[in-house]
């Protein structure tokens, strides 16, 4: 069975569990607490809170079911789900650093992540150096004796640049640092960083994994040792847990994740190739295209390419915004990973410096017919 086919098995509901009366979806355990038959059982559970069902700010069966499914897909020993991607990211980071430590982070990581590292954590005496993630020399040159964390996001959020996961993991191992990667773009279907030596993987579940624009969520995955540390400290103490209702919705969406990612990959490449040929486009940033400078690296560490990419345009911002407004299928909006295709226009560099400052236009290719999407783009540009 191919790896992609196996993913369908991994996301399927478990064989009938008699306790659930044959329900084909995992039931929502709307419980804050779980009671015990005997004090001996209670004492036993309290020793290992996270391995038993005691209290839902710890281990709720509906959330646990999703955690087990996600861990299987990501080839992780253990997973913990959080209230948002940012709750997962900040908890994972806090679990590995303390006052006086140093972090090296890819400079185009997700904005709030950069703010947390570069600004918020500096209040607690943790310093971060941002590097061009595509340059191994920069990673090497930036580590210090007190570097405790290398933070990756591959591909990056706006420009879709890659980092060499295996090389970064090797560098970190050599200096006793931990590696964390934001794997939201690739999903567990297209990239499994733990198999390449990365220590912790974080995802915003809000995007492809959720897939229906109806939930906010996040997950951290890794070895049982690192995850137990997060479980008993950041997860329990900061309390940014996922609710059982959200876990139930995500579990339903997860079953179609491999299927959705196949569709996104195909449609995304078709639309990216087409847009690359347009006169108003200077460059397309999509690691799945052979024109991407790190396409070969992408093929080595990913088994597929998702459908969020950007293009650079020297057209005036107002014109690009008018184009975006005229699009019928593409909606204007943040986030991504659901049914609808999306577009946002962002001026690069200084807003004051004249009309021809390049713009980066982010495109999310959803589930609509790629033919319709391509026609939509062409018609809208003709009208502009």
Ligand X SMILES: *Cc1c(COP(=O)(O)O)cnc(C)c1O
Residues that bind ligand X (CB under 6 A): 84-86, 110, 153, 157, 182, 184, 204, 206-207, 216, 218
Q: Give the shortest CB-101-to-ligand X separation in angstroms.
A: 22
Nearer to ligand X, 66 or 380 (CB): 66
Q: Give the shortest CB-216-to-ligand X separation in angstroms.
A: 5
Q: Give the shortest CB-153-to-ligand X separation in angstroms.
A: 6
Measured CA distances, 65 to 7, 79, 252 (Å): 16, 10, 11
Q: Give the shortest CB-372-to-ligand X separation in angstroms.
A: 25
Look up residue 335 and give its two tokens. Answer: 């986030």
Nearer to ligand X, 315 or 341 (CB): 341
Report the first-to-last Cα separation within the chain, whole angstroms: 49
Measured CA distances, 214 to 336, 340, 353 (Å): 11, 12, 39
Nearer to ligand X, 110 or 130 (CB): 110
Q: Give the shortest CB-241-to-ligand X separation in angstroms.
A: 14
Nearer to ligand X, 183 or 317 (CB): 183
Nearer to ligand X, 218 or 244 (CB): 218
Selection from 274, 354, 272 nearest residue 314 by Cα: 354
Q: Bridge-partner residues for 222, per DSSP?
A: 78, 200
Look up residue 144 and give its two tokens. Answer: 């210090």
Nearer to ligand X, 54 or 209 (CB): 209
Measured CA distances, 12 to 8, 75, 199, 321 (Å): 6, 16, 27, 42
β-sheet with 218-222: strand ranges across: 78-82, 218-222, 200-204, 178-182, 147-153, 102-106, 127-131
Q: Give the shortest CB-84-to-ligand X separation in angstroms.
A: 3
For ligand X, which residue has the nearest CB?
85
Where do we find the tokens 């939201």? 184
């Amino acid at each position: 069975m191919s790896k992609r086919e196996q993913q369908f098995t991994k996301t399927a509901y478990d064989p009938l569990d008699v306790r659930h009366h044959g329900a084909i979806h995992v039931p929502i355990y709307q419980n804050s607490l779980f009671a015990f038959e005997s004090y001996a059982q209670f004492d036993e559970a309290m020793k290992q809170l996270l391995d038993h069902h005691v209290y839902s700010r710890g281990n709720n069966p509906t959330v646990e079911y999703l955690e087990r499914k996600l861990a299987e897909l990501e080839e992780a020993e253990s997973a913990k789900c959080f209230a948002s991607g940012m709750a997962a990211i900040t908890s994972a980071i806090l679990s590995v650093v303390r006052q006086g430590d140093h972090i090296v982070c890819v400079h185009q990581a997700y904005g709030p992540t950069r703010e947390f590292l570069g600004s918020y954590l500096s209040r607690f005496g943790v310093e971060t150096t941002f590097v061009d993630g595509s340059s191994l020399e920069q990673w090497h040159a930036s580590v210090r004796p007190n570097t405790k964390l290398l933070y990756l996001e591959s591909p990056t959020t706006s420009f879709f640049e890659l980092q060499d996961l295996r090389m970064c993991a090797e560098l970190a191992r050599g200096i006793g640092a931990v590696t964390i990667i934001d794997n939201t773009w690739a999903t567990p279907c297209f990239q499994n960083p733990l198999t390449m030596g990365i220590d912790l993987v974080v995802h915003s579940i809000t995007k492809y994994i959720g897939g229906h624009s109806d939930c906010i969520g996040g997950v951290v995955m890794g070895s049982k040792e690192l995850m137990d540390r997060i479980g008993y400290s950041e997860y329990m103490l900061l309390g940014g847990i996922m609710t059982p209702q959200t876990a139930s919705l995500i579990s339903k969406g997860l079953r179609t994740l491999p299927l959705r990612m196949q569709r996104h990959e195909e449609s995304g490449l078709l639309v990216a190739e087409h847009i690359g040929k347009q006169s108003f486009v200077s460059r397309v940033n999509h690691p799945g295209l052979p024109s991407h400078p790190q396409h070969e690296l992408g093929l080595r560490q990913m088994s597929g390419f998702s459908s969020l990419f950007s293009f650079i345009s020297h057209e005036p911002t107002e014109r690009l915004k008018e184009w975006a407004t005229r699009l019928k299928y593409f909606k204007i909006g943040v986030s991504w990973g659901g049914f609808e295709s999306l577009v946002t226009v962002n001026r690069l560099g200084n807003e004051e410096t004249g009309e021809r400052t390049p713009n980066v236009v982010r495109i999310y290719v959803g589930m609509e017919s790629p033919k319709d999407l391509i026609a939509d783009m062409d018609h809208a540009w003709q009208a502009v």
